[in-house]
Amino acid sequence: MAANWLPPVSLTASGRPVFLPGEVERCLLPAVDLESENPGLAPFRSGLLVLTSHRLLWIDEQSAAGFAVPLAAVVHAYPPKKSIRSMFASPRIRLQVSVSPDGRIAEDGVRSEVITLVMRGKNDPDAFYCRLLEVLRSRQWEAAVVVEKRNTDSGIAEPPMAAAARVRMPVVGVSGILRKEQELWESTDKSLQEAFQDLNALMSKAKDMVQLAEKMRLKLLSSTSASGNADDEEMGSKQEMQDWLLSVGIVSPVTKESAGALYHQQLSRELADFVKLPLERAGGMIALVDVYCLFNRARGTALISPDDLLQACTLWEKFDVPVMLRKFDSGVMVIQSKARRDEEVFARIASLAQKPDALRTGISPSDAALTLGIAPALAKEHLLTAESKGLLCRDVSPDGFRFFINLFTEIDPSDIYMNKNNGPAHVWSSALSLSG
Amino acid sequence: MQRLGDFKLPHFFNYPPYFTLQPVRETREKQVQLWKELILDYCRSQKIFVISLEEDFPLFSNPVVERSLSHEARQVFLAALVNEGRAEWVDKSHKKCLILWLRIQDWADYILNFVKENGFEDSVMTIEDMRFGIETRGTELAGIDRGVLLRALKLLEQKGKAAIFKGASADDEGVKFSA
């Protein structure tokens, strides 16, 4: 029985055709008959016609059977007839296909036959015909063939010219677009890989860079102390240099990947090391928020959260590190160098508060900040602490919040008109009288 | 030396923190003490018996340093005087304060002494005379607050050293001293 004069099409479980590699669906037509001029070959009635880049598929969805006409076997496609008669009949498209000696449709057949597509459903034959021509022209099935041939011929040494001649890369139609997309993707992938290699190279250089920066910093420090009177410009650029070096930072930061369960401990140690230099520069005390910014900037990537920072600081109690976390009554948190005791700061504040101007008008947090070289918020904390120790007194007025050296201790309540001749009260009242 | 009227002000009156209520306990205690003394001294010298918090009190401001005590500060210092028994609130709302730069008992002693020194035992004086009369001029009794005087006299009465009697009108109130 010559019923199956077309090669079969395997279907998926849901009745869709299984496509060949690279095969793309182009058009679907319902209710199409496939007939052969050969009366011995039974026609296929009323199936779904699927035009792909490689084949013409006829699928009977009811019986889940499918058959294909390889487009490679199509020699010619006749346009649908336009005559008065054809207006009333179902449109027909005839294809001349090559047939092998045993009657099967094959690409390299010796003779040809005509098969007809009868479109029984509501279809646009002209549109389909155009598509068909496009697909036939693009010959996408040949790309697959070429690849296969290349694979099979790889054993035989073949002159490149001959191989190139056999390759016919179509650049028009859908396959052309697809090919272009493929090429684009490949080139992007390649350039991305190259870029990442650069990054890897950079990372390996990072360690060297930081070592270099460290050497320069040490050199700067030594040269600054060596030359006693550096002029302002030089000092300015040295300052810039130090700032830059400070922010270059840390080579291989502790991350959760690298340290795992020891993350917070290691982070804590890293932080203690890092914070030494900024502490020196800031006069022994920095606000925690400032440390957060500096530390993260130095780490570059692998940033830590405020919570991590806080935990790292609280862990310092367990280790023997020369820094500590300190919380003021106002809630302000600072990192303080253990070496720098409060007494030193108080001594500086006391001497500032006893200068003639300060005796007259007191000191404000910003005055103290300037003298001590620290942030105004921190300076205020110091002033308040000094006040609580009885070193200073506050003066609240419409002018603002100021502090004076504490003279209450000097005043003898039983003789309030007496002035101790060498006490600060004496100095103070002299300062007052000088100003008139 | 700065003066307020004819009162000599201490030098720390120009110390700005003096006019800010100090938060630190030790410093505050010192500050309160100084203010208490100053208030008593000033009131004594100016014969001020009542301080009204609703009015300006010259001692509570210093134009030289441009500072004045806040309402809270005034309350604190006056309350300290009251606690010490050197002042009394005149009203429940603490708006007026009677300053006893001499305690009632001290007044009683003073009057007794005055009477002895001037030989007024067994004599009678009107309250008005005691307050504004010739006999008391130049003494602490001159210009004394009426209420304070009466309370002091009452104390003496309790000890049997004086006897208060009312006259026909308020002006005729008098006291008879006994030895």
Q: Which residue of A has its CA nearest to B24?
A: A388
Q: How far apart are CA A15 and CA A35, in angstroms?
A: 23
The rounded distance, in Å, linking the Cα atoms of A408 and A392 is: 10
The most distant pair of C-alpha atoms in chain A lies apart, rounded to whole Å, by 140
Interface membership of B2 toward A (CB under 8 Å) = no
- Angle at which helices A288-299 and A263-281 pack, to 10 degrees? 110
Contact: B23, A402; criterion CB under 8 Å: no
Task: Write down the ipTM of this complex.
Answer: 0.83
Q: Which residues of A touch B16 (CB under 8 A)?
A: 362, 395, 397, 402, 404
Which residues touch A401 (CB under 8 Å, ≥6 apart)? A364, A365, A394, A395
Residue A361 has a pLDDT of: 87
Cross-chain residue pair B34–A397, CB shorter than 8 Å: no
pLDDT of residue A164: 42
For chain A, which residues score pLDDT lower than 50?
A: 1-2, 153-167, 228-230, 251, 434-436
List chain A residues with CB under 8 Å of B33: 413
User: Rounded distance, CA A176 to CA B21, Å?
Assistant: 88
> What pLDDT was estimated at residue A423?
58
The helix (H) or strand (E) run that includes residue B148 is helix B146-158
Chain-chain contact of A408 with B22 (C-beta, under 8 angstroms): yes
Contact A95, A27 (CB under 8 A): no
What are A320-349's pLDDT values in tens digits?
A: 778 888 888 888 899 888 766 677 788 888
Q: Which of A393, A397, A429 sits opposite B22 (nearest CB)?
A: A393
Q: What is the pLDDT of residue B89?
A: 93
Residues on chain B touching A404 (C-beta within 8 angstroms):
15-17
DSSP A284-348: SEEEHHHHHHHHHHHH-SS---HHHHHHHHHHTTTS--SEEEEE-TTS-EEEEESSS-HHHHHHH
**What residues have CB less than 8 Å from A352, skipping those under 6 apart?**
A358, A363, A367, A368, A371
**A88/A237 Cα distance (integer angstroms):** 94
Interface check for B67 against chain A (CB to CB < 8 A): the answer is yes
Q: Which residue has the tokens 């100095």?
A: A427
What pLDDT is recorded for position A244?
63
Q: Are the C-beta atoms of B174 and B164 separated by less than 8 Å?
A: yes
Q: Chain A contact for B17, CB < 8 A? A: yes
pLDDT over 90 for what percent of chain B?
Answer: 51
Q: How far is A421 from chain B (nearest CA, A)?
A: 13
- Rounded CA-CA distance A28/A202 in Å is 54
Mutate which: A389, A395, A406, vs B, most B CBs within 10 A: A395
Tell me what the mean pLDDT of segment B60-70 comes to.
91
Instruction: Give the chain B residue whose CA is nearest to the CA of A391.
Output: B27
